[in-house]
A and B are shown apart, each in its own frame.
Chain A
Amino acid sequence: MIALLIANSLALAALLIMLASGLALIYGLRDVINFGHGAIYMLGAYLGYTVALVGGFWLALVVVPVLLAVLGIAFEYLALRPLQSRSHIEVALVTLGLGIILGQIIIFFYGGAARSVDAPQILSGSITVLNLSYPVYRIFLIVMGLGSCALLALWLGFTPSGLYVRAVSQDPSVARMMGINADRLSLLVTSLSAAFAGVAGVLAGPYLSIDPGMDVTMIVNCLIIVVIGGTGSIGGAIVAALLFGLVQVAGSVFLPSIAALVPYILLMVVLLIAPRGIGRGRVLN
């Protein structure tokens, strides 16, 4: 029972980690919360649905992140760079508007009906571990989520570009004085964050349903995670995503009548205890 609960919460957290860490990365570099991230994730899910129909799930898992990385590059060049001199709140509002536009375009093409994607043959069904039967797809999800999390940590911790990203996140002006090109890094980070959202969208297909409201649900969850994790802290976001997954799943098991409210209660409790979140995020005015 407990093992099942933890496994389910890990599966949900895997998706959330990919999205929330993407948000935290952009925030670290640009001080902008991308309110359109949910729409990018939704685009990933719908594109994944289409590509999976044509060429199968595995192809979708490769193609969609690449397509979305290109979208991320466009987002960087067309929105983030021209608006660099504007206040962060204004840029955040622009991303909100862009997200609404993207969401509406998706609904225009795909309609309002919910879609579902079948998991590939090898991932369907379930396996039995220690007398517990568990769906293979969710295990795959957990592996993907934790794997991408580990990759991200390796990149940030052990490569020069990762070091630069950390440096800019910690102190943008000093990092620039030391000769780090924040614009080029931001291009990398924005496309990476969009690609992660694409992976999450494709992975969400067989796990959750693909429907027009998924962008708002996901962005709200991610914002809660980013706030709980300490705005801009990637480590904090990962811990918060795990906590969020656990609370969400436990809420739907133990408190089914108010499960929908449990994440918000968590948010309020964390805000009461630690208004700056649990991670060591950069505090901004």
Chain B
Amino acid sequence: MKQLTLALAMILITTHSVQAQRYYTKNGSISFLSKTAMEDIKADNNQVMSVLNTQTGELRFSLLIKSFHFQKALMEEHFNENYMESSKFPKASFAGTITDASRIDFNKDGIYKVNVDGDLTMHGVTKKVSSIGTVTINAGKISADSEFPIKIADYNISVPKLVKDNIAETINIKVHCNFDQKM
């Protein structure tokens, strides 16, 4: 009987603790840079949605392709129309985990180097991605940063010969999120 009570208590504790460990943001930033000898192409998206479960390290990202903004209006149009086909594939998303989240003490200020594994979906293609990043706890606020490269060919994005020299085969992606909301 004692053991049964213990088990019930365990259920209660776990369910309870699960509920209190999710943080999210609706205005995270993701930017990318294509660097070639011809030109640098950069775009920013500051309307990235992300949810982080600090207990399990589970991490989700979702964004609208159309919310990437470029310096040149025509680049933005071509990005949406020709490369990402944003009306057909409006979203990009990531579902993964911070594999070493257990090492982070979310109640103590500090900077932690972490590993992230998961599935990145965009342009209708899902690929495994793993990258390193940092989780920063500052005055109880959680923020996360990461930078990783992707190959555009992996996501079925074709570049016409005429502009091959202007668009890099590997694009560098930068992520920055302040998980300032709790739910």
Chains A and B are bound partners: no
A residues near B (Cβ < 8 Å) are none
B residues near A (Cβ < 8 Å) are none
